[in-house]
Structure 1
Amino acid sequence: MSWLVTGGAGYIGAHVVRALSAAGLAPVVIDDLSSGHRGFVPGGVPFIVGTILDRGLVEATLREHGVTGVIHVAGYKYAGVSVQRPLHTYAQNVEGTRVMLEAMAAADVANIVFSSSAAVYGTPDVELVTEDLPKRPASPYGESKLIGEWLLRDQATATAGSRHPLRHTSLRYFNVVGSADLDVYDTSPHNLFPLVFEALIEGRTPRINGDDYDTADGTNVRDYVHVGDIAAAHVVAAERLEGGEPVEAAYNLGSRNGLSVREIMDAMARVTGIDFTPEIADRRPGDPDRIVATGELAARDLDWAMRYSLDEMVRTGWEARRAAQG
């Protein structure tokens, strides 16, 4: 009995792999290393280098390792850049998910946890986002994640009367930060935490992309959630699917209390001990003003909780990044 983690050599996926191992669910990794790192995969974990767009490879992996479920983390995750690269985004996120579901059906694998995104909501006009809020994605990335959820829903409907009906859930979250293992850190060239860390390491001044948003301090507001908490929720979702327990079609992994980019910058200076005044740059296309979710359903079913303070999020991420320097 094992679980395939797509994108398991990436920042989030590698944490999921470790959480699965700790829970006694044997992980298997497939990753094309386009943004992941071989060194992020622990020794002893089966690691297949390849793309989820390769139906034959995915099906063979599922069969060879006796996979009973998939945690589908692989994808192109950059909302702002997706505006310039919509076709690439759809190929990776929509076609990749379709191929994964096709391979799962062929190999009689019926459980999947999908790494979705709060970007499916676009720019909501409510204080707190709940799962039933209308979906109005503001970027090709958000659209691709929403289509991914539709694919799961439709395949579940299509297989409802079969020997192996698809069981699924989608986890929606926004900014994942920090580290739960010194060997794994966020290497994204677009995410806020690594951008600030790299600037500080190189002696540059970090910058804020836009200070004219419709928020209290003019910088956009998000759920910032610790990667360790995110990984743990994926594992509980997998366990519920494996055990035949009921799950919702989607869960928000939210903080209920958003943080602004400026608040993040203040914490960065405070925790690292490097004083700076951030530069102000232009907005990134596709970035909404505010997305903050409740996480109540996930707390009920997935043991979801915010177990790290803002300073702890910064500290764990900074320590992992510094450890990578040797």
Structure 2
Amino acid sequence: MAKLAGTGAKRGWTGTEETATDWPRAIASARTLADALPDLLVEANQVANTINAGWHGRRRAGSGENFWQFRPFLAGEPIKRIDWRRSARDDHLYVREREWEAAHTVWLWADLSPSMLYRSPLAPVPKRDRALVLLLALADLLGETGERVGLPGVRKPVADRHAAEKIAASLTHANVPLALPDSHDIRRFCDVVLIGDLLDPIEDTLAWMRSVAATGARAHLVMVLDPAEETFPFTGRTEFLDPESGFRLTSGKAEEWKRAYTLRLDAHREAIRDQARKAGWTFILHHTDRPASEPLLVLHSRLSGRMERETGGAVR
């Protein structure tokens, strides 16, 4: 499916008039990603705090190298577990506990290609900005719980409480933005979160999904669409432009295309959803006129649930 719906330019439609000459400026805007990231980081942190208010992470006692907490010594425990230095401070005996370490690797990716810059008058933000907020907020949440977070082909996964800031810095130095990440470093038991409009040719998307599924990794797909891409509110003479290929398509009566377009979009989405279902993956449809916290809550729940099942822990 060509990226026509997401990049359509309609003359005379409500909102800022866009023509083909606007797209060079849109592409130039994509190159100034660094300018937008500080504000997006702030928004991502706010969204992450909203989600995190109802969660307490995965931190608990267990095998590991890092100190977690002191707790009172319990009768029947081996005496060698007592921390005598801490116990000498008062009249109680204490045990030094280490933090449970079962860090999980999560690869994050947001489609930052030119078509993601699209925003209709029906949405408050471009698709790119929403994808970045979701990615950075999820990195923030995962970093707080000690998971290893990385960007395929850009940044190796590391456990860092400042993961969101580190990833934002890496994005500013990334090469040409790709809709689908490199799957070379993805391994079994990893999780991959892909956030984008997923409107690239269906053959490319399904091929990427098969390659990732073959590694044994589990993926979570977030399809981010502008509401105009669902409702197709175009009427009259309309010019559509694909900013990535330069392909232009003009309709004399755009409203006559709505049914065919809707059927094709539905078929495209269902093909991806069906492939995800067969692989046991998560598929989330998100519209940019809805709060970013909605898909983030689902993602955090799915990721946390899977990690706890694999390590035998429980979210507390």
- Fold equivalence (TM over 0.5): no
TM-score normalised according to structure 2 size: 0.36
Larger relative CO (CA 8 A, sep 6+): 1 or 2?
A: 2
Q: Determine which structure has more spread, i.e. the larger CA radius of gyration.
A: 2
TM-score normalised according to structure 1 size: 0.35
